[in-house]
Amino acid sequence: MSHGLKRYTTRRGGALAGCLIALGVLVVLVIVGVVIVAMNWKGWLAGTIKSVAEQAIEQSDLPESEKGEVIAEINALADGFKSGDITIKEFTEIGEDIAKGPLIPAAIVGGFESVYLAPSGLSDEEKAAGGLALSRVAQGVSEDKIEADSLKAIFNPIQTASTTGSGVHINHPKFNLHLKEPKACTDEELRQVIANAQAAADEAGVPNERVTFDVSDEIRAAIERATGGGESP
């Protein structure tokens, strides 16, 4: 396991796609944790976090070595909360930090590639360019170079007015996205999304390189920010 608060490392492009569910579940469990703790169900919540997160992460396409690190970080969080080493306030702050950090935007990128671009009629070169452009956008959002709300403009060509039902619906603390079903999107619409992403990344001055985020490092950093932990001198 790496040390320090490293913000990102180079990984294969779609590695975070399968982790989106796990992170979403974790965030929801953390945020509702205050109510559960008030009902003296702290141990139950800790066990649920471990079980749900582990199942989701094992089914994700993260590298095997990273799966173990992510599970270890989440287990440490759950155990610290159950023992009282992590307070209710810190527990909630950690969940909110993860929700507002780069992991979910990065996971959206991986999910868009696998769900929208992969089955489309775009060429391999176009799909690769799309993955790169959106990866740059995720990096820009994480570094506050691109406003999270700008994701709406980027994905505008495939957005739907419906907030429920078929399609992809993402409710995030910084933005909401409601996208049409992949099969309802035309190749030209997907090309426009890619063009929008490239333009937004260029305007923000994000380097023209693919960078994805280390899940376990991000979770560890959130824990350390909330609890005041860090590296030993």
118 plus 199 within the same structural domain: yes
Whether the CB-CB separation of 211 and 16 falls below 8 Å is answered with no
For residues 221 and 180, membership in a common domain is answered with no
Query: pLDDT class for 232, splitting at 50, 70, 90?
Result: very low
| Domain count of the fold of the chain | 2
Report the pLDDT value the prediction gives residue 130, as an integer from 0 to 100.
95
Asked if 34 and 75 sit in the same domain, the reply is yes
**pLDDT of the residue at 39:** 44
Whether residue 145 sits in one domain with residue 81: no
Q: Do 218 and 197 fall within a single domain? A: no
**pLDDT over threshold 70, residue 22:** no
Same-domain check for residues 111 and 58: no
Task: For residues 34-59, give the mean pLDDT.
Answer: 62
Is 136 found in the same domain as 83?
no
Whether 17 and 74 map to the same domain: the answer is yes
User: Does one domain contain both 109 and 199?
Assistant: yes
| pLDDT beyond 60 at 83 | yes
In a shared domain, residues 129 and 181: yes
Whether residue 152 lies inside any domain: the answer is yes
pLDDT band at 17 (very low <50, low <70, confident <90, very high): very low
| Structure-block tokens of residue 232 | 């030993």
25: how many CB neighbours lie within 10 A of its CB?
A: 16
Burial 46-79 (b: 16+ CB within 10 A, else e): bebbbebbbebbeebebeeebbebbbebbeebbe
- Residue numbers of the domain that contains 218: 13-100+213-227
